[in-house]
Structure 1
Amino acid sequence: MKVAVVGLGFRLGYLGRILSEIDPDFEIVGYVDPAPAGLRALEERGISPGRSYSTPEALIAGERFDLLMIGSPNHLHLEHIRIGLEAGLTVFTEKPIVVSIEESYALALLLAKYGHDRLLVGLVLRYSPLYRDLRKAQAEGRLGEVVSIEASEHIEPYHGAFFMRDWRRYGRYAGGFMLEKCCHDLDLYNGVVGARPRFVASFGGRKSFVPENAPEASGANDLEVYHRKPSGWMGSDRVFDSDADIIDYQTAIVEYENGASMTFHTNLNVPDQFRRFCVIGSKGMAEGDFVRGYMNVHDARTNEKTVANTYMAPSEESQHYGADEQMAADVLAFINEGRPQPVSAIDALEAGILALAMDEARLGRKVVDLAPVWAKFDACLQGREASLAARSA
């Protein structure tokens, strides 16, 4: 498979490495990035990044390839996706797919025009063995009707400090922490519920990464702990006095259109991190943790443990609990065989809209009703917003 890359950051540098390990014919023909943070990871594995281009248009005109991969900062995704779709290409974009509700509408219109199947999205946790087993248990009827979910994504202080130093610290570029980091998780639970979120409330702020919590000279080594993960574009050395406008903790409550509910909690300063869930249904309960690598299912009537699985990443270097390897294989199978993917661009947009609603609720201290958003979103997916705009022009 031949790919072209727009935004050769750490993430696509890593995915390029994974793809090269499973496809002996994998080749990067060229890239666009003024400061390619992922270049070193490729070169260390002997992978050429191809020719450097100044614009996506020049890259598309100058090379022949099977897939355009987008790993640029989030606020640039919509424009780069548009360029790729208009050129007739198959496009893979990293999450989150766009950074606002209005951009969600705009991308829905593009999908209505160019088709949903030409846009793949890197919501990698959909490919994880644990999530696949959760959906298998659900399909087997072990849970019954999903009633409520308790879920979280908590990251260690070194990772939280990365968000305070990287370009992702600015909502205008990332879309907010809940969107940038937790859209994976929201997508998973949207899929488990099988319905769209309707009402959203949320609270949060920043209390850990603030000046009064900065380590003293005799305490933790700031360079070892809080600079372990390198930052890329617009990187900063500031952690506890960062100019970030993102949160470092947030809790949200969601009611879905079918009446199921969810609480979701995130925190960026958890020394023993976990990423867990408890899905409670009318017939059983599934409880698991992506970080700690387990999933148990219990029967509601007998209390019997009907599933007891443990999970381990395929290697110490593997990210996302082995899901990246499966995602790379599935993307390759889509390009070569047209095999359907377990997550769609529409799934990604729906998860993103939920994350954005959580921030709207938090900032406005209100309950957000998503019914009008879904009505307009569906109209855009059918191309109707475009026709209405054309008639009113």
Structure 2
Amino acid sequence: MKVGIIGLGFRLAYLAYVFKAIDENFEIVGYVDPEPTGLPELVEKKISVGTSYASPQELTANEKLDLLMIGSPNHMHLDHIRIGLEAGLKVFCEKPIVTTIEDSIELARLMAKFGHERLMVGLVLRYSPMYRDLLAAQATGVLGNIVSIEASEHIYPYHGAFFMRDWRRYEKYSGSFMLEKCCHDLDLYNGIVGVRPERVASFGGRRSFIPANDPRNEGINDMTMFYSKPSGWQGSDKVFDSDGDIIDYQVAIVEYANGVGMNFHTNLNVPDQFRRFAIMGSRGMAEGDFIRGYLDIHEVLSGAKVVEKKYATRTALSQHYGADEQMAADLIAHVRTGKHLPVSTLNALEAGILALAMDEARLKRTIVDLRPVWDSFDEALHARAA
């Protein structure tokens, strides 16, 4: 399996290691990246990266690829996806797949032209054992009709500091923190509800990573924790005085087309992090936490706990609760045999549009009605191929 990479950062270097562990025939034959921050990791692991090319066009013209993997900064994804599709390749792109509503609609046009099966997306949590078990339980009817969802993703201060120092601190590159980090979670709950979100309200800002909270103000000079996760391209050493424009906390309320309500909360400065959900249905309730590794389901009528499962939060290969190696195995099978994947480009675009609507609502301090966006999106999605 011959693979080309555009954007050899930390994430794709790690995924290349996972893919190679799953399939020894996985071979990187070339890459494009003027500052390949993930290259030392692959050199250390003795994984060859092939030829360094000056442009994606040179890579696709000079190598016969089974798969093109895109890990470039988010704002570049659309152009790199287009290059891969126009070259006739199967393409894998890390999340978030694009960074604006306009680019979402343009990618929908590309899907209409080239089809959906040639583009895969790295929404890795869809592959996690817990989410698969949750979907299987929902399919039995134990939850009944979904009524409301409470969900969150909170991260350790060292991880929050990474976002304040990395290129992701600029919304012009990342799209936003909600899009960059939480699109995983929004995709999961979109999948549970089964219809699109329609109305969104949101509030948030930066209240933790600000100069007034710098520990050095109190004579605490050991800042090691805040630099323990290295930054890459456009990196900075500023944490509490970051020049970025991303938030460090946000809350949002969502109403779906079928009336289901969801509230979602994220925070970048949590000393005991968690990534949990409570899904309330007419017949039961599912509660789980990816970081703390449990899924419990209770019936309404009896009050009995009918599902109680524990999960490993890390495995030998996976940074995402056992999901990375499953994604690698499924993507390899999809490239070779056309195996159906649990997440699609359409899922990724819908989750991204929801995240972007949350940020629009936060910035404008208004309720965002997504129905006009979906109308334009569907028009593009179902357009005739040019």
The alignment's TM-score, normalised by the length of structure 1, stands at 0.96
User: Amino acid of the residue matched to residue 19 of structure 1?
Assistant: F
Q: Which residue of 2 aligns with 1:368?
A: 368
1:25 aligns with 2:25: yes
Tell me if the contact between 2:201 and 2:254 (Cα under 8 Å) persists in the aligned partners: yes
- How far 1:335 sits from its partner (Å)? 1.0
Deviations along 1:235-259, one digit per CA (max 9) or x if unpaired, are 0000000001000000000000000
- How far 1:65 sits from its partner (Å)? 1.5
Q: Which residue of 1 aligns with 2:93?
A: 93
- How far 1:44 sits from its partner (Å)? 1.2
Gaps of 5+ in 1: 388-393
Which 4+ runs in 1 deviate beyond 6 A? none
Q: Which residue of 1 aligns with 2:318?
A: 318
Query: How far apart are the structure 1 equivalents of 2:187 and 2:84?
Result: 24
Secondary structure in 2 aligned to 1:333?
Answer: helix
User: Amino acid of the residue matched to residue 350 of structure 1?
Assistant: E
CA RMSD for the aligned pairs? 1.1
- How far 1:318 sits from its partner (Å)? 2.7
- How far 1:201 sits from its partner (Å)? 0.1
Query: How far apart are the structure 1 equivalents of 2:54 and 2:297?
Result: 52
Query: How far apart are the structure 1 equivalents of 2:344 and 2:4?
Result: 21
Q: Which residue of 1 aligns with 2:131?
A: 131
1:81 aligns with 2:95: no
Query: How far apart are the structure 1 equivalents of 2:315 and 2:69?
Result: 25
The alignment's TM-score, normalised by the length of structure 2, stands at 0.98
Secondary structure in 2 aligned to 1:88?
Answer: coil
Tell me if the contact between 2:287 and 2:295 (Cα under 8 Å) persists in the aligned partners: yes
Tell me if the contact between 2:331 and 2:341 (Cα under 8 Å) persists in the aligned partners: yes
| Matched residue count | 385
The range that moved more, 116-125 or 34-43, is 34-43
Query: How far apart are the structure 1 equivalents of 2:286 and 2:328?
Result: 27
- How far 1:362 sits from its partner (Å)? 0.3
Deviations along 1:294-315, one digit per CA (max 9) or x if unpaired, are 0000001000000000000453
Query: How far apart are the structure 2 equivalents of 1:276 and 1:214?
Result: 29
- How far 1:169 sits from its partner (Å)? 0.2
Tell me if the contact between 2:99 and 2:175 (Cα under 8 Å) persists in the aligned partners: yes
Deviations along 1:270-306, one digit per CA (max 9) or x if unpaired, are 0000000000000000000000000000001000000
- How far 1:221 sits from its partner (Å)? 1.6
Q: Which residue of 2 aligns with 1:391?
A: none
Aligned pairs (5 A) from 1:264-283? 264-283=264-283
Secondary structure in 1 aligned to 2:8?
Answer: coil
Task: State the identity %.
Answer: 66
Query: How far apart are the structure 2 equivalents of 1:271 and 1:2?
Result: 42
Query: How far apart are the structure 1 equivalents of 2:225 and 2:136?
Result: 39
Query: How far apart are the structure 2 equivalents of 1:239 and 1:380?
Result: 41
Query: How far apart are the structure 1 equivalents of 2:186 and 2:44?
Result: 34
Gaps of 5+ in 2: none
Secondary structure in 1 aligned to 2:321?
Answer: helix
Query: How far apart are the structure 1 equivalents of 2:59 and 2:5?
Result: 9
Aligned pairs (5 A) from 1:1-393? 1-216=1-216, 218-219=219-220, 221-222=222-223, 224-313=224-313, 315=315, 318-383=318-383
Deviations along 1:93-124, one digit per CA (max 9) or x if unpaired, are 00000000000010000000000110000000
Deviations along 1:222-242, one digit per CA (max 9) or x if unpaired, are 1x2100000000000000000
The range that moved more, 337-346 or 310-319, is 310-319
Secondary structure in 2 aligned to 1:273?
Answer: coil
Secondary structure in 1 aligned to 2:153?
Answer: strand
- How far 1:42 sits from its partner (Å)? 1.0
Tell me if the contact between 2:7 and 2:73 (Cα under 8 Å) persists in the aligned partners: yes
Secondary structure in 2 aligned to 1:152?
Answer: strand
Secondary structure in 2 aligned to 1:120?
Answer: strand
- How far 1:220 sits from its partner (Å)? 5.9
Tell me if the contact between 2:169 and 2:244 (Cα under 8 Å) persists in the aligned partners: yes
- How far 1:219 sits from its partner (Å)? 2.1
User: Amino acid of the residue matched to residue 285 of structure 1?
Assistant: M
- How far 1:316 sits from its partner (Å)? 5.5
